[in-house]
């Protein structure tokens, strides 16, 4: 009986893990409207936003995304006054911005790009 319980629990955990994995196509379908909304609001091409989101979140499956709702890997840095989460990236325990919703992350990404000399050429006016 104990073996049966362990096998059933393992199968349930495995099925749950598979069900939560998004494909790139599913990520695009889920977040394309946010990317288009931000393109209209700030001029950041939706294709660039989605491409970076796909890359940074491993198509919506990354540990950082699950911990922080951060779709773009934006670090806290000195200008961030919101919540943060510790995550290993270029260095151990770096601070990454935390968002309550995906929409907040997408909005901050557009604002971040718009306010940056480094990425400003992506923005249409």
pTM listed for this prediction: 0.79
pLDDT score of 28:
97
**CA-atom Rg of the chain in angstroms:** 18
Number of neighbouring beta carbons within 10 Å of residue 78 = 5
The mean of the pLDDT values for the chain is 86
Is pLDDT larger for residue 7 or for residue 69? Answer: 69
What is the C-alpha separation between 77 and 24, in angstroms, rounded?
29
In degrees and rounded to multiples of 5, residue 9 shows phi and psi of: -65, -40
Q: Which residues pair with 75 in a beta bridge?
A: 96
Reduce the DSSP state of residue 101 to 3 states and report it.
coil
Q: Which residues pair with 87 in a beta bridge?
A: 94
Largest CA distance in the chain: 67
5 pLDDT band (50/70/90 cuts)? very low
pLDDT in tens, 46-67: 999 999 999 999 999 999 999 9
| Domains of the chain with CATH codes | 24-122 (1.10.530.10)
What is the C-alpha separation between 51 and 31, in angstroms, rounded?
11
Task: Supply 28's token pair.
Answer: 């695009």
pLDDT in tens, 82-110: 999 999 988 999 999 999 999 999 999 99
Q: Which residues pair with 95 in a beta bridge?
A: 86
**Taking 90 as the threshold, does the pLDDT of residue 4 lie above it?**
no
Reduce the DSSP state of residue 86 to 3 states and report it.
strand
């Amino acid at each position: 009986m104990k073996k049966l319980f362990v096998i059933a629990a393992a199968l349930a955990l495995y099925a749950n893990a598979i069900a939560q994995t998004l494909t790139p196509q599913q990520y695009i379908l889920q977040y394309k409207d946010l990317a288009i909304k931000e393109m209209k609001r700030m001029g950041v091409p939706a294709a660039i936003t989605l491409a970076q989101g796909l890359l940074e979140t491993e198509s919506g499956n990354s540990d950082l995304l699950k911990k922080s709702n951060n779709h773009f890997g934006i670090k806290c840095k000195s200008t961030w006054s919101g919540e943060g989460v510790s995550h290993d990236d270029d260095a151990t325990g770096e601070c990454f911005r935390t968002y309550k919703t995906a929409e907040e992350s997408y909005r901050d990404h557009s604002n971040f790009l718009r306010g940056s000399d480094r990425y400003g050429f992506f923005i249409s006016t």
